[in-house]
Structure 1
Amino acid sequence: MTDVAKAAGVSQSTVSMVLNHMSGARLAPETRARVFEEAARLGYRLPRRDGQPEPQAALAGAGGAGGAGGAVPRTVIGYLVDEISTSPHPVVSVDGARDAAWEHGCVLAVHVTRGNTAQEAATLAALAAHPGLLGIVYSTIFTREVRLPEPLRAGHLPVVLLNCHDDELRRPAIVPGEVGGGHGATEHLIRHGHPRIGFINGEPWMEAAKDRLKGYKRALATADLPFDPALVRDGDWMSGSGYDATLSLMREPRPPTALFCANDLMAIGALEALRQLGLRVPEDISVMGYDDQEISRHTHPPLTTMVLPNYEMGRAAVEALLGLATGQIADTAPAGRRWLTKIDCPLVERESVRRR
């Protein structure tokens, strides 16, 4: 499957959909033809195991009424998230999951539980009773460790964790590569000649804040630059804390020549504080954000930032769920190993960073 996907330039799940002749998968005829062509060239043959259903039969579901053969095609993906209205990030993840599901002939059923355990249990019970349910994407608004509800721990349904992980990292989980993102942002500033970089972090108890700080420290260490705690401030992800932290950092005896803010909103607060101090960005000081929110394109100057890959994470979660449903990947990692996929946070260069 990996070889065919690489040769055809598609995902492993797409290869599975094509070779298993799954009905309802909305794939271009050219894509199907390319997969079959590369599979034939590589000598691929669909494996059959005596006594075991074909992968497409497993997806069609067992029991229940409906369809000419009595089986109901499993084309519904349940998507549970604890919150969706207080941040733009989970909405973008839903978009990615929806698009990936639709490309494979599935629909996404989104349910917001707001952390209410009773509502979560009732939602899972209703989804489990749906004869067309393929599996569950279990998502959280911020990256954290979770304890899955009992119906999902039982293992009767394929489940993929999105933006969260279980305590042993044994369940399939998709999270952002925050350490790499923090490293990439800091490294970009170092490459532009800034050895003294202030870091305005989010709430320190959150995994995202811990990992972005870890990336910041690692980039400094890689460049043989000392870590100075006097250059770090904790914020709360809001613009006001970015404003206050910037004023505090610029009062240091040796103020930074660049600021790395752990999200774009705090970077906007930093830009306002620097403007009130009479400092020009990027001529006098450079500013780096994180998240690539829409507003970062419209600041003065436009903000250099790191992408939080919510859309790609949503797509990856559905791709992994399809892999579970077709038996391409195991639903738990082997003992002593971890099942965790980190999606890269790429750099977006705009105009708020200048070489010294």
Structure 2
Amino acid sequence: MPPQRATLLQVAQRAGVSRSTASFVLTGRHKDMRISEDARQRVLRAAQELDYRPNLMARSLRTKVTKTVAMISDTIATDQYAGRMIHGSLTAAVASGYLLFIAETDGDPVVEEKLIADFVDRQVDAFLYASMFTRQVRLPKALRDRNVVLLNCLTRAAQPAHHTIIPDELGAGLAAARTLLDAGHRRGIYLVGHVREQVFAGRERLAGINEELGEAGAQLAGTIPCDWWPDSAYDAVRRALADGLAPKALICLNDRVALGAYQALRDTGRTIPEDVSVLSFDDSDLAAWLRPQLTSIALPHYQLGWQAIDTLLAPPSPAKVRRLPMPVRLRASVAAPPGD
């Protein structure tokens, strides 16, 4: 049998104080109750000697607070890259004295409904409703009247009903264009990747790119359409180059697309960045592995997770959408256009 845990009464008896005095000391309320420093030290010493730990279940029954948060996501937990959102959330929860439960639905609404019901039955204090990719979602009905923060997703409502934490993809597009402009690029800039209306990141990134280039009197020379995956990007860029395309710079919609573009450029005798500059989005591990290392606009996954928990546990305030900055990671893949 496991050893019996020490009780608050045993701590009080060893310290020679009342049970209420021991409780006030161990919950941090000793100053308000004018408990002497000597008594406080005796209680702390007794708790340490007895390896006392509070009965959280009993406390939650009294206070209706369980110090727990549940994260409901589609596939974040099984994705190594986006998993940094979990890391940030966990770290912030621990720093605030909370336990974070993590559950994954794989996009199945039946599984999602059951998970939410189970967490409600366990009286979790609050929820993170999270997505692997930034996208619009319909918040489950069971969560609409609860303490919820949306993480990396948002609803279609013009006025949000819950706090929402997403990356600033529009700002990322502005930063991508500004990086090339600052390097001297004005012509021969191509976007690599499909931009579909339903894909939030691509739509916002393109809007930012067009806005920043337009303000400088420049524009994209065109788009090389492909899926957001290396082999599709390789085929599309290689085909475009074989057809006579002569880009000065490529803006790839993610690092996997950039990998395919790198291979196509090299296979056709182009050097990065001397002949063609390349930049991308996400700043995955791939960006630092490529040679030359890839300039990429970072998705702040860790910061998204931390900020979501911080917002969730903060005092109530009017709901708003908060966009976290996506910093530029300048590396060796961008240079002045040839001839400049």
Deviations 1:51-87 (A, max 9, x none): xxxxxxxxxxxxx961298225431110000113664
Paired with 1:268 and 1:69, the residues of 2 have a C-alpha distance of 54
Find the residue that maps to 1:174 and give its secondary structure: strand
1:223 and 2:223 equivalent? no
1:285 and 2:276 equivalent? yes
Paired with 2:60 and 2:111, the residues of 1 have a C-alpha distance of 35
Retained in 2: the 8 A contact 1:76–1:107? yes
- Alpha-carbon shift at residue 240 of structure 1 (Å): 1.2
Deviations 1:288-325 (A, max 9, x none): 021111121111111111101111111111111012xx
- Alpha-carbon shift at residue 247 of structure 1 (Å): 2.1
Retained in 2: the 8 A contact 1:183–1:212? yes
Which runs of 5 or more structure 2 residues have no equivalent in the other structure?
1-25, 29-55
**Corresponding residue for 2:267?**
276
Paired with 1:250 and 1:343, the residues of 2 have a C-alpha distance of 36
**Corresponding residue for 1:255?**
246
**Corresponding residue for 1:60?**
none
Taking a change above 3 Å as real, the CA distance of residues 218 and 68 of structure 1, as seen in their structure-2 partners, is closer
- Alpha-carbon shift at residue 93 of structure 1 (Å): 0.7
Find the residue that maps to 1:232 and give its secondary structure: strand
Deviations 1:80-121 (A, max 9, x none): 001136643431111111111111111110000111111111
- Alpha-carbon shift at residue 234 of structure 1 (Å): 2.8
**Corresponding residue for 1:45?**
none
**Corresponding residue for 1:14?**
none
Taking a change above 3 Å as real, the CA distance of residues 248 and 194 of structure 1, as seen in their structure-2 partners, is farther
**Size of the alignment, in residue pairs?**
282
Taking a change above 3 Å as real, the CA distance of residues 280 and 119 of structure 1, as seen in their structure-2 partners, is same
Find the residue that maps to 1:162 and give its secondary structure: strand
- Alpha-carbon shift at residue 254 of structure 1 (Å): 5.6
Return the match for 2:118 from 114, 119, 126. 126
- Alpha-carbon shift at residue 220 of structure 1 (Å): 0.9
**Corresponding residue for 2:295?**
304
Paired with 2:271 and 2:60, the residues of 1 have a C-alpha distance of 70
Retained in 2: the 8 A contact 1:203–1:236? no
- Over the matched positions of the two proteins, sequence identity in percent amounts to 30
Find the residue that maps to 2:165 and give its secondary structure: strand
Paired with 1:69 and 1:138, the residues of 2 have a C-alpha distance of 26
TM-score by length of 2: 0.77
Which one has a bigger Cα radius of gyration? 2
Paired with 1:352 and 1:262, the residues of 2 have a C-alpha distance of 15
TM-score by length of 1: 0.74
Kindly provide the amino acid, as one letter, of the partner of residue 149 in structure 2.
V
Deviations 1:314-350 (A, max 9, x none): 1111111012xx33x13x4xxxxxx211011100011
Paired with 1:350 and 1:23, the residues of 2 have a C-alpha distance of 50
Taking a change above 3 Å as real, the CA distance of residues 227 and 285 of structure 1, as seen in their structure-2 partners, is closer
Taking a change above 3 Å as real, the CA distance of residues 293 and 248 of structure 1, as seen in their structure-2 partners, is same
Paired with 2:249 and 2:211, the residues of 1 have a C-alpha distance of 17
Paired with 1:104 and 1:194, the residues of 2 have a C-alpha distance of 47
Taking a change above 3 Å as real, the CA distance of residues 125 and 68 of structure 1, as seen in their structure-2 partners, is closer
The 5-angstrom pairing of residues 83-232 of structure 1 reads: 83-84=75-76, 87-131=79-123, 133-153=124-144, 155=145, 157-168=146-157, 169-170=159-160, 171-195=162-186, 196-202=188-194, 204=196, 205-228=198-221, 231-232=222-223
